[in-house]
Structure 1
Amino acid sequence: MSATVNRVGLPRDAYKGAATTLCAGCGHNSITNHMIKALYELGVEPHMLAKMSGIGCSSKTPAYFVESAHGFNGVHGRMPALTTGAHLANRQLIMLGVSGDGDTASIGLGQFMHMIRRNVDCTYIIEDNGTYGLTKGQFSATADLGSVQKKGGVNTFQPIDPCAVALALGCSFVARSFSGDGKQVVPLIKAAIAHRGTAILDIISPCVTFNDHDGSTKSYSWVKDHEESIADVSFIPFFEEVHVDYEPGTVRDVRLHDGSHIVLKKLGEDHDPTDRRAAIQVIEEGRAEGHLVTGLLYVDTAMSDFATTEHIPEQPLKDLGEDELRLSRDDFAQFMSEFA
């Protein structure tokens, strides 16, 4: 990768999109920049990327990066179904879904859960601000108990934690980060794209208009004061040599199916990202102590993804010929005989 183009010969500008219409300072804009950086450095070819979204401030994000990629902005909460269908039709495309806390944890919760249990090969980014920005600041389902609205209202309901739900359902890749921490977000996005299966990345993304004040646990100041990263994350793509120069016992190396590596350097207590029970425990302990635990919480590289489990061909369905799609006369006769 040269100073001006990446490994597929494209400049960084090729990964940009339209000018944002979100509020100045919105955490979602930071996430957009992190995605641009990750996709550029990975050398993803725009025509091999499918950007999927539902409804909400978060779902406007796909318009702001890789404008020449495929895209589908669907109805509220239905991004997982659209993504599943598009992926099964063409397994060659990289599926990148962008959703929000309302689109995922409220109206879209059922579809979110079924995508996870099927392990559809998709990077699923949740831009999580704990509020409904488009409808002027009501609490969303991810707002913490006791959170205070800008106008003084107090949340009396328990939150839905997307990462905890994902872990309970056996999701094969679960991570959490903060929009202001590009050093952590970028390698997590790269790792999620390289992972085969559903990769959930919950990114706390402060809403500067309705949820960035004292009393909010989704504000810039609160997250900066309470973020607790469990490991320093690095990503080494399959097309680069692995050079890890750390003392023995200070890092964990997770190899993904395509030959890429996630390198996790210990920052405090050792966390095993391949232990699902430990991941659940670290979330619960962080919640009890008032900390926002970030980093790669869990990854299972051995789990079969949905398309593989269902024997969907690697070749796009549109390219299959009649011989592959139509039973022969003998096969059809045998099939019918089973119902005789």
Structure 2
Amino acid sequence: MTYVKPMFRHPDAPVNGLGHTRQVYEGGLSTLCAGCGHDSISAAIIDACFELSIEPHRVAKLSGIGCSSKTPAYFLSGSHSFNSVHGRMPSVATGANLANRDLIYIGVSGDGDTASIGLGQFSHVVRRNLNMTYLVENNGCYGLTKGQDSATMDSGSRNKKGDLNQYSPIDLARLAIEIGATFVGRSFSGDKQQLIPLIKAAISHRGFALLDVVSPCVTFNNHADSTKSYEHMRQVNAPMPVDFVPMREEITASYDAGNTCEVCMHDGSVVRLYKHDNDYDIEDRQSALQAAHHYASEGKILTGLLYIERDSEELHDVLDTSRRPLNSMDEKQLCPGSRLLDSINAGLR
């Protein structure tokens, strides 16, 4: 048995604007369970970066601990990568981002890594509006330790052993909107048509972008009584169709007035989405929270782009950092010298 990917690709395989085939954006062979939703998310990231014509070496991918945190090995093998300790990925992402603002940061986490041990770190990276895409592969259980309920497991959902969860879940999308995230989306790993445009929009967003992706665990949380199963998600998913139009393409409206919302991003690209409810404003926090709560009260899960703040200040704007990445400066440029340090200290007395 071999675990080496074949190098052969069809000579007529499509290429992107950089002349790369999709193969350039792939990673190693997955060791996750066959059918795991996480692999679908990895494939969506590959497609999104391919379609955006991003050079893999311009991407830094970061993760913590868990099944989800293994997935960066399965996409963009030519990118930078850091696998941190449990729940501490936001700190590593913050340090790396402050040192080199020119990279595209993609953090991959899980419901345990984010909503349990990492909840404090998650909250602070949200409120600081770090310029990154933060993907939560949310399956409602701890797959590496035999399927115990996680903090996102819905109240009343049963695990594989038949135990009923009696605790209230943490809704990461609603929490992120509440504490200041400037881009919040939710999707389902089984909905490729919605997920890929959302990832492309999140990467293009300037500021912190959260994507909470329901990703069923086929081994421990894909049975009939689970609210994170494929069957349940297909029944309760209330999808908001999304289309992402890069700035290099002509941007035209193709829907009837009143049925769509077009959001222009800072780089000139456009996120176009069909609105289920014309009273729902994705650029108003309270409206977004009320919409998510309304669908949840009906036993449904609203997916799509839930909230966006287009003209936000990301962390580099707030700190007024140098436009030149710190990792490109030498010691003389980074150290101001004792005289200047003395004057700074004197001004703080």
Give the TM-score normalised by structure 2.
Answer: 0.93
Q: Matched residues in 2 for 1:43 and 1:339: separation?
A: 47
1:134 aligns with 2:144: yes
State whether structure 2 residue 316 is matched by structure 1 residue 325: no
Check whether the contact 1:123–1:193 (CA below 8 A) recurs between aligned residues. yes
Counterpart of 2:205? 195
**C-alpha displacement at 1:322, in angstroms?**
5.3
Residues 339 and 87 of structure 1, relative CA distance in 2, 3 Å threshold: closer
Whether 2:247 is the aligned partner of 1:238: answer: yes
- In structure 2, distance between residues paired with 1:267 and 1:228: 9
1:155 aligned to 2:165?
A: yes
Q: 5 Å matches for 1:258-277?
A: 258-277=267-286
**Secondary structure at the residue paired with 1:218?**
coil
1:47 aligned onto 2:57: yes
Q: Is the 8 A contact 1:147 1:154 kept in 2?
A: yes
2:191 to 169, 181, 185: 181
Deviations 1:216-271 (A, max 9, x none): 00000000011012x32110112222122222222211111111111112345542
User: Shift of the alpha carbon at 1:326?
Assistant: 3.6
Q: Which of 290, 297, 307 is residue 298 of structure 1 equivalent to?
A: 307
CA contact (8 A) 2:258 2:278 kept: no
User: What's the CA shift for 1:152?
Assistant: 0.8
Question: Aligned to 1:221, what secondary structure does the other structure show?
Answer: helix
Q: Secondary structure at 2:155's aligned position in 1?
A: coil
Whole-Å Cα distance in 2 between the matches of residues 182 and 336 of structure 1?
A: 54
2:153 aligned with 1:143: yes
CA distance in 2, matches of 1:27, 1:329: 55
- Deviation of 1:337 after TM superposition, in Å, equals 5.2
Which of 208, 215, 220 in structure 1 is aligned with 2:218? 208
DSSP 3-state at the match of 1:296: strand
Q: Percent identity?
A: 50
Distance 2:347 2:101 in 1: 32
For these two proteins, the number of residue pairs brought into alignment is 338
Whether contact under 8 Å (1:92, 1:314) holds in the other structure is no
1:256 maps to: 265
Aligned to 1:12: 22
- Output the CA distance in 2 between the equivalents of 1:137 and 1:328: 55
Q: Which residue of 2 aligns with 1:310?
A: 319
CA distance in structure 2 between the aligned counterparts of 1:137 and 1:322, rounded to whole angstroms: 49
- Aligned residue type for 2:106: L
**Structure 1 pair 139/238, CA: closer, same or farther in 2 (3 Å)?**
same
For residue 116 of structure 1, what is the aligned residue in structure 2? 126
Alpha-carbon distance between aligned partners in 2 of 1:43 and 1:333, rounded to the nearest angstrom: 47
Deviation at 1:158, TM superposition (A): 0.5
| SS across alignment from 2:241 | strand
CA–CA distance in 2 between the matches of 1:127 and 1:194?
20
327-336 or 171-180: which moved more?
327-336
CA positional deviation for 1:333 = 6.2
Asked whether the 8 Å contact 2:13–2:21 carries over to 1, the reply is no
| Matched letter for residue 271 of structure 1 | Y
2:115 partner letter: A
Q: How far, CA to CA, are the matches of 1:101 and 1:332 in structure 2?
A: 43
Deviation of the 1:50 alpha carbon: 0.3
In the superposition, the TM-score normalised over structure 1's length comes to 0.95
Question: Relative to structure 1, is the Cα distance of residues 321 and 222 closer, same or farther in structure 2, using a 3 angstrom cutoff?
Answer: same
Q: What amino acid is the match of 1:19?
A: L
The corresponding residue for 1:62 is 72
Q: Name the CA distance, whole Å, in 2 between partners of 1:271 and 1:17.
A: 39
Ranges in structure 2 where 5+ consecutive residues have no aligned partner: 1-11
